[in-house]
Amino acid sequence: MDMIIDTGSDLSWLQCSPCTDCYHEPDPVFSPSRSSSYKQFTCSSTMCQSLGNRGCQRNGCTYELSYDDGSVSSGNLASETFSDGSSSVSNIVFGCGHDNEGDFSGADGLIGLGIGALSFARQIASPLRSSDIEFSYCLPVDSSNGGKSSSSLIFGNSAIPSEGQFTTYLINPSVGPFYYLQLTGISIAGSLLSIPVSTFEIRRDGSGGVILDTGTTVTRLPMSAYVVMRNVFRALTRNLPSASPVSIFDTCYDLSGLQSASIPSVQLHFQDEMDLNLPVTNYMLSVDDDNSIYCLAFAGTAFSEVSIIGNIQQQGYRIAIDGENIRIAFIPGQC
């Protein structure tokens, strides 16, 4: 099964037959009726009662998940044995999705790696003799090999590096299963932008803050912060030929006639003196087949004060989640 990894949600799920409404996937859809280890939870079970968006159908517990892009998955809450080919873990709680709609890139399902009780990372912590969530991943930069490259997702003690840059993460019980980072500032070309630190803090009512999310493509900032960043970036690139906005990107350039271009550096500053010097490929995104038009891969959001560190900015870093010490490491190049 090819699964999307998502640090912004908990419950893992697979497309399951019979399908009420399933999107196309290249692999055979999982058939629970052919599995001797598959078990659906009853409506009165403790596991079902602990689920937020639950339902009941013929005494079987059902779930429903929705994502910010409008994608949904719903079906039966069950347990099953999960294997990576060399080892297996039994009684993993997951969703057997009979109705799945949205853009999941043809994957068979989704692995939830959030911070909550039903997170796959938390469920396998005990079998791996970990005291808390411990895993690391690296989202590899697209290669010339058909745009595909590979890396590893590691669970257990070996996932946490003995050295590297770490920053403490926060838990926001008001919102959900997210890892909140304490972003303290952004620099462009070595100069710290005039953005109040409070812009990125979690407020008393639970709003705001900065989430680490593999399920979001582009880093989102509150509009007030994004406008400051965009304007400084534009001022430092006024010598580059501009291009029309593309989708959510409003700062684009036509680099087709240039052999080289001077692009200002972008640096993200986090608590505990952790600084990320982003490679230019992590914030200048090619948006056409000819690799001529490039856009600043950040966006503003007018309807939310939450900032999101998206997967483009995470590419090329080994990111390690150390739940025991409540910290996250970013290590460049260990993919």
Q: How far apart are the first and last CA of the chain?
A: 22
Q: Is 157 helix (H, G, I), strand (E, B) or coil?
A: helix
Strand order in the sheet with 242-243: 242-243, 252-254, 293-296, 284-286
Of the candidates 198, 167, 228, the one whose C-alpha atom is nearest the C-alpha of residue 305 is 198
Burial of 196 (0-12, 13-18, 19+ CB in 10 A): exposed
Given 6, 10, 108, 322, which residue is catalytic?
Answer: 6
Residue 142 in tokens: 């697209």
Strand order in the sheet with 191-192: 191-192, 183-188, 266-270, 274-278
CB atoms inside a 10 Å sphere around CB 201: 17
Look up 6 and say whether it is catalytic.
yes
Name residue 169's beta-bridge partners: 181
Of the candidates 217, 228, 183, 232, the one whose C-alpha atom is nearest the C-alpha of residue 311 is 217
Q: Is 205 helix (H, G, I), strand (E, B) or coil?
A: coil
Of the candidates 142, 115, 152, 80, the one whose C-alpha atom is nearest the C-alpha of residue 6 is 115
Between CA 217 and CA 227 the distance in angstroms is 19
Burial of 330 (0-12, 13-18, 19+ CB in 10 A): buried
Given 10, 108, 213, 322, which residue is catalytic?
Answer: 213
Name residue 222's beta-bridge partners: 301
Look up 132 and say whether it is catalytic.
no
Q: Which residues are catalytic?
A: 6, 213
